[in-house]
Chain A
Amino acid sequence: MSIDESTARRVAKLARIKVEDADLPALAGEFNAILGFIEQLNEVDVDGVEPMTSVTPMRLKRRVDEVTDGGYQGKVLANAPDAREGFFAVPKVVE
C-alpha cells in the first residue's frame, strides 16, 4: 500500500491538521516509511485470534447512576482561549 499526495491530504484533513501543499510529498514519504514497517504484521497468522480489548483481565466497575460531583463552571472555563458569559466561544458554526 503506497500513500500518494492526495491520500496524505485526505488524512491531514481527517486529522484536522493544516498541511501546506508543498509539504505533502515529504509527508507521504514518511507515511510510506512507517506503513512499510507496519506491513510486517501481514506475515503473522492471526486466524482465530481475538483482538485484544484489555491487557489485564478485568471487569469495568459499575456505580449508581447519580451526580457525584460538579458545579465547576468557573474552573472548567478558566483555561479557555475565549470564554464569554459562562460559555466557550468559537467562530460561527452554523450559517
Chain B
Amino acid sequence: MSDLSKLTIAEARDKLRAGEVTSTELTQACLDEIEKADSLGAFVHKTPEIALKQAAAADARIQGGAENPMCGIPLGIKDLFCTQGVPSQAASAILDGFNPEYESTVTTQLWQAGAIMLGKLNMDEFAMGSSNETSTYGNAVNPWRRGNDDAALTPGGSSGGSASAVAADLCLAATGTDTGGSIRQPAAFTGITGLKPTYGRCSRWGIVAFASSLDQAGPMTKSVRDAAIMLRVMAGHDPKDSTSADLPVPDFEAAITGDIRGKTIGIPKEYRMEGMPAEIEKLWADGTDMLRDAGAKIVDISLPHTKYALPTYYVVAPAEASSNLARYDGVRFGHRASLSQGDGITEMYEKTRAEGFGAEVQRRVMIGTYVLSAGFYDAYYNRARKVRTLIKRDFDQVFSDGVDAILTPATPSAAFGLGEMANADPVQMYLNDVFTVTVNLAGLPGISVPAGLDGQGLPLGLQLIGRPWEEGDLLNIAHSLEDAAGFVAKPTVWW
C-alpha cells in the first residue's frame, strides 16, 4: 500500500507546496486504494477521469503558486450532494439515473479551491438512518472489526460511506451532512473527526433536502486541523440559500492555538443516561480530565429538556421530510413506475413512490404527513416546535452563564453489527442519535473527536458542542482534546 492516501490534508498541503508530491500522485494513490476496497461499499460512483483531470489542473495551479490549502486534495463526496453530470441519487432508487445539470454550492467551492473529486459515497437513503443499511446501493461497511471477529460492522449513518472511506484511507477527507447526527455518529464509529457547523454556515443549495431546518453540511477528516482547513472552503454566504448566514468566514485553522487555559467546559448531567456502558462513562470522565489538565475550567451544567430532544426531532424531521420529498413524483426526474391500463396521475404518484422509496423513507414521510395533517398539527407539530424553543433556550442559558463548550459522549455505544438491529423497532435505531440530535435542534456547531478504543478494539468518540458561529473556538478546544487523547489506532486492512 502506498502511504500517500493516508496523509492528512495538512500534511498533503505541505508536501504539495514543497514539491515533494504532486496532486496527480496523491489522486492516483487514492484511486488505487478505492479499486481494492469495493467490499467496504463506500464509493458507489467512481469518477477517476474527472479526478485525474482535476489533479492535472491542480498541479498546474500549485506550480503557479496556488495558495489555497485544499488545492490538489482528493476527496470523496456524499451522494446527497448534486454534482454536475455525475449520478447523485441520495442513495435512493427513486433518483435512479438522475444526473444533475448543476453543482451544489459546497462542492462548487471545493472545486474552485482546487480539490479533487474521487467519486460519490454511500449513505442511508435520503440521509434517513444511523447504520447505512437503508441505501439502495447496499450497506457501507466499517473498516474496523471486533478483535479477530470477522462480522461486518456498520460504519454508522447516514454518512456511512464517507466515514468508511476516510477511516480506510481511500481519500484524504470527505463531505458529510448532518440532520440529527449523521456526521458525528459515523465519525465516532470509525475513529475519525466529524464536524457539524452552525446552522447556516454552509449553503444547503444543491444538497438533496431532508429536513431543511436541521440539515447542515460539514467535513469528515482524519484530524481536527483538517476539519478547520476544509470547513473554511465549504462555508460562506450563498444568495441561493436564504438561510445561509451572511457572515465573514474566519481562518478556522488560525484559531487552533493549542491554548485552552481559562476556557469553561460544561458537563451536562442529563447526558448521563440510564444503562450507559461503563466504557463510555469512563471515556467521558477521561476526556473531562484531559481538558482540565489542559487548563480548562470544568463546570457541571444542566440542559433540562435533553430528554425531549429525540421525540421532538421525530416530529420535526419527518414533517419537513414529508414536504421536501413531495417533489419525487415521477414527473420531473428519477424513477416513474410503469402504469397499468386506466391508471391516472394519482396511481402514477402512488406507484412511483411505493417503488422508489425504501421502507424507512416511506415510514418517515407518512409519519410526517400524519403530524402535519388537519386535527394533529397543533398536538404534534406545533408542540414539537415549542419544545424545540425550550431545548435551544437550555443552551442559550448555559452559554450566557459563561460556558464556552460542552463535552458529551458522541454515541451511546461503539459500532454495532450490520443486521443486528434488523428486528428492533424503529425507535431503538433512533436512540443512536440521543447525544447528537440536540445540537441540530438548537442549530449549534458540534464535533466528534476519536478519543479511545473499547474492550473489543472499536473506536469511541467524544462530542464537543460550541457556541453558535464559534467553530474556531470549538476546533481549538477539540484540538486540545485530540492532542491529549492521542488516538492513533487504525483498522487492520482486511478489505
Contacts of B450 in A (CB 8 A): none
What are 18 pairs between A and B in contact, CB < 8 Å?
Answer: A14-B373, A19-B354, A34-B367, A40-B308, A44-B386, A44-B387, A44-B390, A49-B387, A51-B385, A51-B386, A51-B389, A52-B392, A55-B199, A55-B388, A80-B332, A81-B334, A81-B335, A91-B344
Residue A38 at the chain B interface, CB threshold 8 Å: yes
Closest to B390 in A: A49
Residue B307 at the chain A interface, CB threshold 8 Å: yes
Contacts of A56 in B (CB 8 A): 198-200, 243, 245, 443, 468
Contacting pair A78 B389 (CB below 8 A): no
Contacts of A61 in B (CB 8 A): 239, 242, 246
Contacting pair A41 B315 (CB below 8 A): yes
| CB within 8 Å: A-B pair count | 169
Contacts of A53 in B (CB 8 A): 385
Known: A33-B425, A60-B242. A80 touches B387 (CB 8 A): no
Closest to B240 in A: A69
Contacting pair B345 A91 (CB below 8 A): yes
Contacts of B314 in A (CB 8 A): 34, 37-38
Contacting pair B101 A16 (CB below 8 A): no
Contacting pair B307 A40 (CB below 8 A): yes
Contacting pair A30 B239 (CB below 8 A): no
Q: Report the minimum CB–CB distance from A21 to chain B (whole Å).
A: 13
Contacts of B386 in A (CB 8 A): 44, 46, 49-52
Interface bits A29-48 vs B (CB < 8 Å: 1, else 0): 01101110111111110100
Residue A2 at the chain B interface, CB threshold 8 Å: no
Interface locus among B151-159, B163-171, B376-384, B455-463: B376-384
Contacting pair B357 A31 (CB below 8 A): no
Interface locus among B114-122, B358-366, B471-479: B358-366
Q: Report the minimum CB–CB distance from A46 to chain B (whole Å).
A: 4
Instruction: Please name the 4 residue pairs, one residue from A and one from B, whose CB atoms are nearest each other, closest first.
Output: A55-B443, A51-B385, A81-B336, A79-B333
Residues of A within 8 A of B (CB): 3, 8, 11-12, 14-19, 27, 30-31, 33-35, 37-44, 46, 49-56, 58, 60-61, 63, 72, 75-76, 78-82, 88, 90-93
Known: A41-B311, A61-B242, A75-B101. A52 touches B426 (CB 8 A): no
Interface bits B213-248 vs A (CB < 8 Å: 1, else 0): 100000000000000000000000001001101100
Contacts of B245 in A (CB 8 A): 56, 58
Residue B409 at the chain A interface, CB threshold 8 Å: no
Residues of B within 8 A of A (CB): 97-102, 198-200, 213, 239, 242-243, 245-246, 305, 307-308, 310-312, 314-315, 322, 326, 329-336, 339, 343-351, 353-354, 357, 362-363, 365-367, 369-371, 373, 380, 382-390, 392, 425-427, 430, 441-443, 468
Contacting pair A88 B242 (CB below 8 A): no
Closest to B329 in A: A16
Complex Cα spacing A52 to B101, Å? 35
Looking at the complex, which one of A34, A58, A91 makes contact with B343 (CB distance below 8 Å)? A91
Q: Report the minimum CB–CB distance from B485 to chain A (whole Å).
A: 30
Besides the contacts A8-B366, A17-B366, A81-B336, what 18 more A-B pairs have beta carbons closer than 8 Å?
Answer: A3-B370, A11-B366, A18-B353, A27-B363, A30-B425, A31-B367, A33-B426, A34-B427, A44-B308, A44-B390, A46-B386, A50-B389, A52-B385, A55-B443, A56-B198, A79-B334, A90-B345, A91-B347
Contacting pair A88 B332 (CB below 8 A): yes
Looking at the complex, which one of A16, A39, A58, A60 makes contact with B350 (CB distance below 8 Å)? A16
Contacting pair B354 A17 (CB below 8 A): yes
Contacts of B239 in A (CB 8 A): 61, 63
Contacting pair A41 B334 (CB below 8 A): no
Contacting pair B305 A44 (CB below 8 A): yes
Q: Report the minimum CB–CB distance from B157 to chain A (whole Å).
A: 18
Contacting pair A17 B365 (CB below 8 A): yes
Complex Cα spacing A58 to B468, Å? 13
Looking at the complex, which one of A38, A43, A44, A79 makes contact with B380 (CB distance below 8 Å)? A38
